[in-house]
Amino acid sequence: MLPELPDERPARYAEQSILVVDATQVVRDLIGRLCQTIGFGTVDKAPDGIVALKMTREKQHHVIIADMTMEPMTGLELLRSIRSDSDPVVAKGIFLMMTSDLDAKLVIAARRAGVDAYLLKPFHKHSLIQALNSRS
């Protein structure tokens, strides 16, 4: 069971939904809780890019935060699929990439594909807020 975090929910994100995509359940849960503490009204979670793409097309999340290295669809492949989606709400949402390895080639590829910001794991609340504000 995860410890309770203080409730600091500002109204800014209250009407927005975020999708957390990571292969590891514990990471999804921790980041999901972090998103709740900064005020996201809805926090959904997906274990991989394929599930995430299906969920986003059904729900049109305002923000996606995805791990770079997942199977069977990587974060970069998910980003490319999102940015090329025929639905402009899906295609233009905020996309944050999280990774524990800042490989220069992958960073450049993700920038070209339209990533909004990077988060280096592990990250804290202030880094997430800064990444969200870089696009707002």
| Predicted pLDDT of residue 67 | 96
| Predicted pLDDT of residue 9 | 46
Query: pTM of the entire structure?
Result: 0.88
Q: Please write down the HEC assignment for all residues of the chain.
A: CCCCCCCCCCHHHCCCEEEEECCCHHHHHHHHHHHHHCCCCEEEEECCHHHHHHHHHHHCCCEEEEECCCCCCCHHHHHHHHHCCCCHHHHCCEEEEEECCCCHHHHHHHHHHCCCEEEECCCCHHHHHHHHHCCC
- Please name which of 57, 54, 92, 99 lies closest in space to residue 75, comparing C-alpha atoms: 99
CA atoms within 13 A on the CB side of 103: 8
| Predicted pLDDT of residue 4 | 52
Per-residue pLDDT of the chain (136 residues; tens, 9 = 90+): 555 544 444 567 888 999 999 999 999 999 999 999 999 999 999 999 999 999 998 998 999 999 999 999 999 999 999 999 999 989 999 999 999 887 889 889 999 999 999 999 989 899 999 999 886 5
Question: Which CATH number is 14-133 given?
Answer: 3.40.50.2300
| Predicted pLDDT of residue 103 | 83
